[in-house]
Structure 1
């Protein structure tokens, strides 16, 4: 760990916080319904498009039988909720979702592997 963080550093970072939202997608028992592969491909296409458009800042597919993924979005909760209500996997009953308000900090990113 690096040197201790000062109160001033915490306050300086907090001053840069930007309202955002985080969406947690969860698989349902209907994940493997007929046509699921095609539906999931459309979900993936939509998520990658939202990422390319800057609506999703961080896209985290989760390799799990229960948790499908997490997305950090640059939009507010109400807009994100409406967006995910129209997701192909959500509409097909393959996933459910929860959207929460959060804060992000400019410049945060997942580092590239060395």
Structure 2
């Protein structure tokens, strides 16, 4: 059941919205190339590093044959595109990336 939410609550939450970028990584035909495991490990190392530095606020690998993962990034879309274009899996043709502008609400978090 959905809790009752007032118009005032909606407006108050909307007023706190901050800009973020959503990076959507999809598997590409190069996924099965020779050496793919090593390239993917470097991709994972880089993504965890970006998370540790705060450039990625939320990192979500996706268990799918289509979508590889999503990341909520704290940089503007152009900065996110630049960062993700240098990703090892993107450079190797194992993944493609789409970056979308989005907003989020400070304090939102995944449940522990």
Aligning the two structures, in what range does the TM-score lie when normalised by the shorter sequence? over 0.9
Q: Which residue of 2 is the match for residue 91 of structure 1?
A: 91
Equivalent residue number for residue 55 of structure 2: 55
Give the CA deviation at 1:17. Answer: 0.3
Shift of 1:3: 3.1
Change (3 A) 1:66 1:3: closer
TM-score for the superposition, normalised by structure 2: 0.97
Q: Gapped runs of 5+ residues in structure 2? A: none
Q: Give TM-score scaled by structure 1 length.
A: 0.96
Q: Which residue is equivalent to 1:31?
A: 31
Deviation track 1:14-36 (CA, whole Å, cap 9, x = no partner) reads 00000110000000111010110
Deviation at 1:57, TM superposition (A): 0.6
Structure 2 residue aligned with 1:6: 6
Long gaps (5+) in structure 1: none
Q: RMSD value over aligned CA atoms?
A: 0.8
Provide runs of 4+ in structure 1 moved above 3 Å.
none
Instruction: Classify the secondary structure of the residue corresponding to 2:75.
Output: coil
SS of match in other structure, 1:25: strand
| Whole-Å separation in 1 of the counterparts to 2:101 and 2:29 | 27
